[in-house]
Amino acid sequence: MKKILFVASEGVPFIKTGGLADVVGSLPKCIDREYFDVRVMLPKYTCMKQEMKDKLNPVGHFYMDFNWKQEYVGILEAEVDGIKYYFIDNEGFFGGVKPYSDNALYEIEKYAFFSKAALSVLQTIDFRPDVIHCHDWQTGLIPVYLNERFQDNDFYRGIKTVMTIHNLKFQGRWNVPDVQSITGLPAHYFTDDKLEAYHDANLLKGGLVFADTITTVSNTYAEEIKTPFYGEGLDGLLRARSNDLRGIVNGIDYDAFNPETDPFIVQQYNAMNFRKEKLKNKRALQEELGLRRDENKMMIGLVSRLTDQKGLDLIAHVMDELCQDDIQLVVLGTGEERYENCFRHYDWKYADKVSANIYYSDALSHKVYAACDAFLMPSLFEPCGLSQLMSLRYGTLPIVRETGGLKDTVQPYNEYEGTGTGFSFSNYNAHEMLGTIRYAEQIYYDRKREWNRIVDRAMAADFSWSVSAKKYQEMYDWLIG
């Protein structure tokens, strides 16, 4: 039995702020338990829901030398869906009303502590993984510490590490003297071939240098991050390690996102009956949001963080033009104030066409996926993206920019070959996006039978975790040897 330990800063069902939590919660369940013993380690945040805290059982505790003092390390465990979870407890680091703070230095100290503690508890819980699978910059110091201070201990020698990049934009950067003092790493680790980048210490870079292999969450993103535009300053390192870098596209939980059993939607449906039943969700959402009730009107959904990365400047640029078309637009999400206010403005200006819901609701997101005809995702960059996978699952056709995981998962409609599962455009250009939306409108209104065939193909696409899990298993086998 091969032993794998996932270490991450968040994971469903315990704590979630973004797509990382979905991956950490879903992927271990899909790895073949006959051959792999997969466990997960997370921080014990005090802001976790009480019902999840009630599942945790104490295992033990000790004090660890960290940042010039002795820090308390509590260990708890829980089992959910047959997966064992471990939690590192220290209220000084993991207290607060939300998992992450805006204080960059505090975040670096917090996750440096978490990385060191994650390695230190392994002997106490008597679990020696063959592979530690690290996720994003918060766990970047695990491969570094494993290389530096744990190699003298036979228990740790030979443990392999995987570093997965979910979003290269976030790296954990701060000045070298502070990070050296906090981590206790020797000065020779802060050189440009190790943790130093552009005169700062960079925790993600440390993980990328010392991990045995690197993955990211789609094939196209794996290629893109080797270029200066997408590489966020680390493209040179990623080119140097390109033989150890692979892209494995994310999946989604096909039980949680299933139009046939979804408890949040008014009318459940499947690939056989969507032509009759899907419309009922549109009617219900129009009623709920105060839009004009017309089941034949093309409805476009947008569920997103409202930030530049998501291509919202393109949408803002052509909103007035888009609202001249015979469409409805439903927006759900929060983010930068200018985009929140932009959508509020158009909701006011075109009240029967635009519904701006500037908050986040899991239930409403499911209703949007089920009710809309198309789903807009014109990202500037997108490591993988999960929303387009959800919209495919619900037969809501994605309109995307060809970048990262969007390019890998949405096949553009080709009217001559009768292929494709959505619509796409390649240049980061507002009117190219608008042209693609209008092409989709034309198919929707003038060639409805053809539209329904695209929906058939979209709903038949398989982006469940089982497909990706096999690729991770191959990688673990190759690493362990």
Residue with token string 């440390």: 206
Amino acid in position 352: D
Q: Is the pLDDT of residue 463 over 90?
A: yes
The burial of 49, by beta-carbon neighbours within 10 Å (0-12 exposed, 13-18 middle, 19 or more buried), is given as exposed
Residues 88, 226, single domain; the answer is yes
Residues 294, 431, single domain; the answer is yes
The per-residue pLDDT for 418 is 95
How far, in Å, CA of 424 to CA of 410, rounded? 8
In a domain, 30, yes or no: yes
| 194-204: pLDDT as tens digits | 999 999 999 99
In a domain, 197, yes or no: yes
Residues 242, 288, single domain; the answer is no
Query: Pairing relation of β-strands 200-202 and 131-135?
Result: unpaired
The per-residue pLDDT for 17 is 86
Q: Is the pLDDT of residue 167 over 90?
A: yes
143 alpha carbon, distance to own chain's centre: 22
Structure-token pair, residue 350: 């075109």
In a domain, 262, yes or no: no
In this structure, is the dihedral angle defined by the CA atoms of residues 396, 399, 403 and 408, taken in order, positive or negative? positive
**Residues 6+ away with beta carbon under 8 Å from 246:** 213, 214, 215, 216, 222, 475
Residues 11, 121, single domain; the answer is yes
Residues 196, 290, single domain; the answer is no
Range of the domain at 341: 274-462
Q: Is the pLDDT of residue 18 over 90?
A: no
Residues 457, 414, single domain; the answer is yes
Q: Is the pLDDT of residue 247 over 90?
A: yes
In a domain, 367, yes or no: yes
Residues 198, 279, single domain; the answer is no
Residues 207, 317, single domain; the answer is no
Residues 219, 285, single domain; the answer is no
Structure-token pair, residue 433: 């996006």
| 62-116: pLDDT as tens digits | 999 999 999 999 999 999 999 999 999 999 999 989 999 999 999 999 999 999 9
Residues 287, 242, single domain; the answer is no
CATH number of the domain that residue 100 is part of = 3.40.50.2000
Q: How many residues does the chain have?
A: 481
Q: Average pLDDT of 26-41?
A: 96
Q: Average pLDDT of 298-317?
A: 96
Strand partners, 75: 60, 88
Q: How many CB atoms lie within 10 A of CB 290?
A: 11
**Residues 6+ away with beta carbon under 8 Å from 138:** 8, 9, 111, 114, 115, 172, 203
In a domain, 470, yes or no: yes
Q: How many domains does the chain have?
A: 2
The per-residue pLDDT for 325 is 97
Query: Nearest 5°: phi and psi at 398?
Result: -75, 140
Nearest one of 95, 92, 100, 147 to 119, comparing CA atoms: 147
Share of the chain above pLDDT 90, in %: 96
Q: Average pLDDT of 200-226?
A: 97
Residues 379, 349, single domain; the answer is yes
The per-residue pLDDT for 408 is 97
472 sits in which H/E element? helix 465-480
| 130-140: pLDDT as tens digits | 999 999 999 99
In a domain, 126, yes or no: yes
Classified as helix, coil or strand, 365 is helix
28 alpha carbon, distance to own chain's centre: 15
In a domain, 261, yes or no: no
pTM: 0.93
Is 386 in contact with 377 (CB distance < 8 Å)? no
| 327-371: pLDDT as tens digits | 999 999 999 999 999 999 999 999 999 999 999 898 999 999 999
The per-residue pLDDT for 13 is 93
Query: Pairing relation of β-strands 69-80 and 83-89?
Result: antiparallel
Q: Is the pLDDT of residue 417 over 90?
A: yes
312 sits in which H/E element? helix 312-322
Residues 441, 399, single domain; the answer is yes
Share of the chain above pLDDT 70, in %: 100
pLDDT band at 14 (very low <50, low <70, confident <90, very high): very high
123 alpha carbon, distance to own chain's centre: 31
The per-residue pLDDT for 116 is 98
Nearest one of 259, 217, 211 to 27, comparing CA atoms: 217
The per-residue pLDDT for 19 is 84
How far, in Å, CA of 180 to CA of 94, rounded? 22
pLDDT band at 481 (very low <50, low <70, confident <90, very high): confident
Q: Is the pLDDT of residue 391 over 90?
A: yes
Q: Is the pLDDT of residue 151 over 90?
A: no
In a domain, 10, yes or no: yes
| 41-60: pLDDT as tens digits | 999 999 999 999 999 999 99
How far, in Å, CA of 196 to CA of 206, rounded? 8
